[in-house]
Amino acid sequence: MDNARPSSQSKTVPELGRQPIRTFEAAIDRCRELGMRLSRQRRSILELLWQTEEHLSARSIYDRLNQQGQDIGHTSVYQNLEALSSHGIIECVERCDGRLYGHVSDAHSHVNCTTTGQIYDVNVELPAELIRQVEAQTGVKISEYRVDFYGSTVQAIAPDGSTR
């Protein structure tokens, strides 16, 4: 299932020099610092992303909020997600089947399950020697990196090694 692969346009890192946003409260603070209006809808979207701790499509966010009794429209969801991701407050992962949004905004890597489409956030530290090799090959000083892993969850692998 190739739709789990994010495109090269995926935004995973906020502006350089900014503190990472690791809590709901920090996300609210960053909105205030940037002078962003903290509407009920925007706050609800942020709360949902921090509560679920998974990557969700705009449609899933809309559905979940409305199931919770929140009165929010499609357009409002899309506009708020765009504003929050463009300011580095939330993560936007581009996939061939659409965008997914997550609450982690600092540099991190992903494990993509090719069977379920689930994306897991992980912190991976590459060996210093590997980073030096990349720098030597490219002439580019590495300041941040992101690694995308792909595979099937253990539960999705049958005893014969095939995926279910």
Mean predicted confidence (pLDDT) in 18-32: 87
Residue 12 has pLDDT above 50, yes or no: no
Pick the more confident residue, 43 or 160: 43
Which residues, 6+ apart, have CB-to-CB distance to 37 below 8 Å?
A: none
User: Please, where are the H alpha helices in 34-150?
Assistant: 40-52, 58-67, 74-86, 128-138
Q: What span, in angstroms and rounded, lies between the C-alpha atoms of 148 and 9?
A: 13
Task: List the helix and strand counts (H, then E) for the chain.
Answer: 5, 5
Pick the more confident residue, 143 or 41: 41
In the chain, where are the structural domains located?
Answer: 2-156
Residue 162 has pLDDT above 90, yes or no: no
pLDDT, tens only, 67-105: 999 989 999 999 999 999 999 899 888 887 889 898 876
Residues placed in the known binding site for Zn(2+): 113
Specify the long-range contacts of residues 51-58, CB closer than 8 Å, at least 24 apart: 53/103, 54/102, 54/118, 54/119, 55/91, 55/93, 55/100, 55/101, 55/102, 55/119, 56/100, 56/101, 56/102, 57/98, 57/99, 57/100, 57/101, 58/98, 58/99, 58/101
Fold of the 2-156 domain: Arc Repressor Mutant, subunit A (1.10.10)
Residues placed in the known binding site: 113
